[in-house]
Structure formats: structure tokens, C-alpha cells
Structure 1
Amino acid sequence: MARPTFLRVLLGLTVLMLGAACSDDGTPPAQAETHQASGSNGLPLGSGFDFYVLALSWSPAYCLVEGDRANRQQCAEDRDLGFVVHGLWPQFENGYPEFCPSREPDRVPSQLGRNYLDTVPSMGLIGHQWRKHGSCSGLTQAEYLKVLRAAREQVVVPKAFALDRLPARVDALEAEDAFIAANPGMTREGIAVKCQRGLLREVRICMTPSLGFRSCGEIDRNGCTIEDLNVPEPG
């Protein structure tokens, strides 16, 4: 039998190398579909950051402070809103990423975003939060909004902030204590109240990528400690 020529050997090696460079279905690795890792709760896990901050905005304070600049969809007279989700923000232990490059579009399609208007009060806010913060989560738009809703559902708003029994004024640290009492596992080092113009403006809660409560020194240190904050009513 004749020995294989050098050209035949080279051709055979080339075919083998091309076969190894493809996935089982013949798709090159660069084009093969990837899947986001999931946590024990079945939610997709983000990447490229250390933890989340769930920012719950007291909607009447936002509408009062922003005035004519406030979002009309959120501040319409027929919307009696209390705490709403301002955003779910990926964070580093110090600082945070923002406006990250993403393969996802900048605009959140209305057919996706409108499913979350019960959690985030306007399409404008949903779009802004995706562009500034969600793009840094390592998630798709759909995954990010799913995790955002799950984060909100993880937090129990204290009964003291129910609209039918709303206190006129509140101590910032007492507001933190009320959230801690209503949410086992939450600690003083993992929550911060934000205030503006003497108003309760926001409560920020630190969460792991799998949405467990955790401490966050930088967020906690920047919290408000005013003893007499006004809590405006809706409308």
C-alpha cells in the first residue's frame, strides 16, 4: 500500500481540527447559545458586581420635590402610591458601575416594560433604570426586570407605612428599625434612609445577587439620621 502523501496527512489534520472547533450540533463556539447561571431561588444571577441596592422611593415625596418636573404617569392624581421601586442597582463594595456596554437595546420595549408598571411606576423610569443600572447587571432586560420584581417581593413594607395609617412624621432610624422588624435577616448595616428637604425620600436596602439581605458599609454610612422627617401623603 502506498504511503499517504504529506498533503493527504495535512488535509486530514485540518478536518479533525475543524471538527473539534465546533459544538456537537456543528455550531462554532462563538455562536453557541449561552445560559445565565441561576441561584438557589431559580432567579438568574447577575455578574460583574458585588451586590444590589433595592431603592424604594416614597412616591409622594418624589412628586412634591420634583413638582412640574415629576413624571406625570407616576404623579397622576388618581394614583395613590406609597413606596415604589426606584431601581435595583448593581454595586461594588465602594462605588458602582453605570451605563455599561450591553448587547441589549437601550430602549425597553413597551410590551415588556408595561408588565412591571405595578412595581416601577412609569415606562420612563423603567427605561432609565435599565440604561443606567440594569445594563451593568450582566442580565438581559427580561432577566433584570424579573430579578427587580423578585427583589421587591422579598421586602415587606412595615404596616406603619400603610396609606390608611400613615404617620405625619417619622424618625429616620425608627423607620429603619420598622423595616428590620418586618424583614428577618435585615440589619442596621444593610439599610439606609435617604431624606431631602426634611422629607422621607427613599429607603435603600442591600441584597446579595441571589437577593438575600446583607450589610453594605458605604450605603449605611451615607444614610439619613434626621429625627423628624415629614412623610407626605399621596395626592
Structure 2
Amino acid sequence: MRFGNIMSLVFVLSLFLLLEVPKSCIAYDYFSFPQTWPKGYCNKQIDEHKTFHCPGKIPKKFIIHGLWPQPSQQAPNGSLLVEEDLKPVEKELGLDWPNLIGKNFIFWRSEWQAHGVISEAQFPKLEYFKTALHIYKQNDLLEILTKEKIVPKAKEVYSVTSVLEAVKKHTEHDPQVVCYTDSKKNVSALYEIRICLTSNATSYRNCPNPHGSCGDGNLLFPK
């Protein structure tokens, strides 16, 4: 091959690499993996008058909300998610990552567009959802809390610290709890727990602001 042809090839390859930089160099420090407590979420919607009920049967387990690269940032243009992309895991997603107030795929697509595309260079579409399902299987929050005698109750409250410590006992790192205010009982009520993982999603790390919106007092674990 002549020298001129070699230089042309080098130029083309260099241009190709430059075009890939914006996608491959998207920066995020870690993942937040939020799991929603369905009863708390549905009660929150009612309390805030967003909806009067969650249609269908409410799961009696924590469910996946998403897998969020952090710190939060504007999602770039990435691959569009279509239903065919998730066929291999559709049934599993329907059980562990359901939409409580609408069609499942609409929820999955919105999570991909808002969060998934940020880590697409590392976790392409199917891999992103498989990774979330794998993390979920390793972190059964209801089982983790039950082991520490923290179970859903209609009236009994638990200290926020006890909930954080129960999850930390499992992950050895600080989680984050998220609450809403139950206006009838005038108490913070749990609707989400988030664990945090390193940027490759293989190890736990501390979440910032563990007490989240729950404060330093007590919380209700809605039944």
C-alpha cells in the first residue's frame, strides 16, 4: 500500500474516532438504583391529587423505578427504544419493573430516554435493562427490611435511621430513602429506597444525602 493511501486511511480512522468521542466520553460518577414501594407511591398520588387510584392489583413488593447515571444531567440523543428490543426480558420486566399507572412500555421507554442513553456506550439497550434486573435480584428490599423486623404497618412508624441501617447492613454502604407527607396522618411515609453503585454497576457505594426527603425522625411504611 502506498504512503498516500496509508495516510488517507489514518485520516479516515482518526475522523471516525473523533466522531465517537461525544458518545463514549459522557461523564457520570455512579448509578442510583431506585426501588419504589407501590403502596406508598399510590398513596402519594392520591394524597397529591395526581390520580385517585393505581389501576389494577398493587404489587406487594418493591419494584424497579430505574437505573440512573449520576450526577443527573441532560440526556443526549441516543438510540430509540422499541418494543422489539425488550422481547427477551419483557415478561421479567413486567413483573419487576411494572408501570403502576399506565402501559409498561411507555414507562420503560421514558426511563431509557431520560437515563439509559446516558450510559449507552457502556450498557446498550438490552444490557441496560438486564443490568437493572440483575441488581434488583441481588437486592430484595422487602426481604432485607423484614429481616430487621421492619414491615408494612397501617399506623406503626419506624425511625428513618433504622430503615437506613437495615439496608446498609446488606450493602455495607449508605442508601437513600425518599418520602412524601401523609396529610391525614401528618407523618412522613416511605415510597422509595435507592441504593447506589459504581459507574460499572458492579459494586456498591454510598449514596449522598441518605435521609433524602424523610428527615431525621420517623416514617410510616404504608400497608
| 1:109 aligns to 2:88 (yes or no) | no
Task: Note the 1:90-169 alignment, pairs <5 A.
Answer: 90-92=69-71, 96-102=72-78, 104-105=79-80, 107-109=81-83, 112=86, 114-115=90-91, 116-122=93-99, 123=104, 124-138=106-120, 139-159=123-143, 160-161=145-146, 166-168=152-154, 169=157
Task: Give the Cα separation in 1 of the matches to 2:117 and 2:6.
Answer: 40
* 1:108/1:126 contact within 8 Å kept: no
Q: Note the C-alpha offset of 1:130.
A: 0.8
Question: Which runs of 5 or more residues in structure 2 are unaligned?
Answer: 182-187
Correspondence for 1:228: 218
2:163 to 175, 179, 183: 175
**Normalized against structure 1, the TM-score is what?**
0.67
**Normalized against structure 2, the TM-score is what?**
0.71
Task: Give the Cα separation in 2 of the matches to 1:20 and 1:131.
Answer: 35
Residues 89, 20 of structure 1: alpha-carbon distance in 2 compared, 3 angstrom cutoff: closer
Task: Give the Cα separation in 2 of the matches to 1:99 and 1:22.
Answer: 28
1:83 to 53, 62, 66: 62
Correspondence for 2:185: none
- 1:109 counterpart letter in structure 2: E
- 1:60 counterpart letter in structure 2: K
Offset from partner CA, 1:103-138 (integer Å, 9 cap, x none): x01x44255162422221122221111111111113
Task: Give the Cα separation in 1 of the matches to 2:119 and 2:6.
Answer: 39
Cα-Cα RMSD: 3.4
* 1:194/1:223 contact within 8 Å kept: yes
Q: Note the C-alpha offset of 1:20.
A: 5.7
- 1:99 counterpart letter in structure 2: A
Offset from partner CA, 1:187-225 (integer Å, 9 cap, x none): 3xx2111110121111111111233111233x4363523
Q: Which range moved further: 130-139 or 52-61?
A: 130-139
Task: Give the Cα separation in 2 of the matches to 1:154 and 1:207.
Answer: 12
Equivalent residue pairs, number: 193
Between the two proteins, what is the percent identity of the paired residues?
20
Residues 81, 206 of structure 1: alpha-carbon distance in 2 compared, 3 angstrom cutoff: same
Correspondence for 1:215: 206
Q: Which range moved further: 132-141 or 60-69?
A: 60-69
- 1:192 counterpart letter in structure 2: Q
Instruction: Name the structure with the higher helix share.
Output: 2
Correspondence for 1:43: none
Q: Note the C-alpha offset of 1:61.
A: 1.2
